[in-house]
Amino acid sequence: MLKSARSRDTLQYKVEFPGERKIMAKVGLREWLALAPVFASGKLARYSDETGGPLGRFEADFCNKFNVQHALTMSSGTGALISALVAAGVGPGDEVLVPAYTWIATAAAPLAAGAVPVLVDIDHTLTMDPHDILRKITPQTKAIIPVHMSNMVCDMDSIMRIARENNLVVIEDACQAVGLQYKSKRVGTIGDCGAFSFNQFKNINCGEGGAIATNDARLFSRARMYHDIGSMFRGHLDNANEAPMLGINFKASQIQGAMLNVQLKKLDPMIARMRERYNVISDILGKSSMMMIGPHNDVDNAAGLHVIFETSEDAKRFAEENKRGVYRLFDSSRHVYTNWQPILQQRTGHPAMNPFHWTDRTIEYTPELCAQTLDILKRSCRISLGENYPVALVAHIARRMSRQARSNSDNLLYATI
């Protein structure tokens, strides 16, 4: 295992090209120092600081960086998705289109709002296939949740066109692509609302956290009321034209805000490193006839890398021989719809509160419902970009991967002669 020297800004990290469990954004000395004033003030809660505190500063800077009018920090990306759906008026009897490859929270969020998820195939970009979106729309469809998965951005031009033609709400799930761009716009700011995650494995890391972003003032006000059960006592003047709405509690703390202010400054430099290493690795692996570099909906801003093989066995072998930097997407079971048992079995906490009982038609999930997705995931491998490692080391590992794939192909050809 290779190890780096400890940097001044990093309390701990390992240089071992990890795969699925990779920590995207480092946390170090600057975050630690940012917490001290918050602890000293004793104003840790969201509304305990009349000036807005670190959370207020983070939201203002987030709006400025992302060129969006409203941002609201929350306790998690899941809470952001649920709040956005409720704020958009999604509820019982509605259907919400979600991709068959994503973290289960994307499919669970509609259920929390009283609606049901309808699964949509992905294409080779690992994001929602616009053609299957069209096939899955019914009179009950109310919203689409496109997921920018693993720093792979969706075809937002097509998705927005489909949504506008069918009067559908678009809630972007940008949890796994915070800060990425699609044709000069930050993902999460293109649809009606965007949801972001700041947990340990995301591009911005405060342990747990999330946010919504929107240019719709009414949607923002409703989301703010829903995410805070005490909202009616806060004196939000811009809620004056919106009737009070009962909410729950998805509020973030000033502790999270302090960390997020530091992390936001690190975001763009980290993405720049990711893009630089994407170019290096894709150029090396792209010369191999053993695999295809996964396509992007905006390759100029690419910051996520996967390769596609002709067979699932080729992909499986490639992942097994490059364990520290590669994993086969199908083996990331938590992100594959066939493993979402509570959703597939349509089980909720109480049968009387089961949204599947409130639909106008029977919703069924079968193992082969999204066969195209399963085929792509079985033949595809994600490759870590190693954005915290020297470019020379990243290039060396990429060349080793390419040689290994070529050697395996030569051996297989020899064995068949």
Known catalytic residues are 202
Within a 10 A sphere around the Cβ of 387, how many other Cβ atoms? 23
Residue 170 sits at φ, ψ, to 5 deg, of -115, 115
Tell me how far apart the alpha carbons of residues 99 and 121 are, in angstroms, rounded to a whole number: 6
Tell me how far apart the alpha carbons of residues 355 and 363 are, in angstroms, rounded to a whole number: 11
Q: Answer whether 208's CB lies under 8 Å from 73's CB.
A: no
Q: Write the burial class of residue 180 (CB in 10 Å: 0-12 exposed, 13-18 middle, 19+ buried).
A: buried
Q: Answer whether 38's CB lies under 8 Å from 255's CB.
A: yes
Q: Answer whether 73's CB lies under 8 Å from 59's CB.
A: yes
Tell me how far apart the alpha carbons of residues 194 and 186 are, in angstroms, rounded to a whole number: 10
Q: Answer whether 146's CB lies under 8 Å from 187's CB.
A: no
Query: If DSSP codes are grouped into helix, strand and coil, which group holds residue 268?
Result: helix
Q: Answer whether 211's CB lies under 8 Å from 196's CB.
A: yes
For residue 352, what are the contacts with CB-CB under 8 A and spacing of at least 6? none
Residue 116 sits at φ, ψ, to 5 deg, of -125, 145
Sign of the torsion formed by the C-alpha atoms of 394, 332, 10 and 212: positive
Tell me how far apart the alpha carbons of residues 396 and 399 are, in angstroms, rounded to a whole number: 5
- Reading the block at residue 114, the tokens are 């009283």
Provide DSSP, 54-69: HHHHHHHHHHHHHT-S
Point out which residues pair with 71 in neighbouring strands: 213
DSSP designation for 294 = P
Tell me how far apart the alpha carbons of residues 175 and 173 are, in angstroms, rounded to a whole number: 6
Closest CA to 170 of 209, 202, 213, 132: 213
- Reading the block at residue 150, the tokens are 């693993």
Tell me how far apart the alpha carbons of residues 307 and 295 are, in angstroms, rounded to a whole number: 9
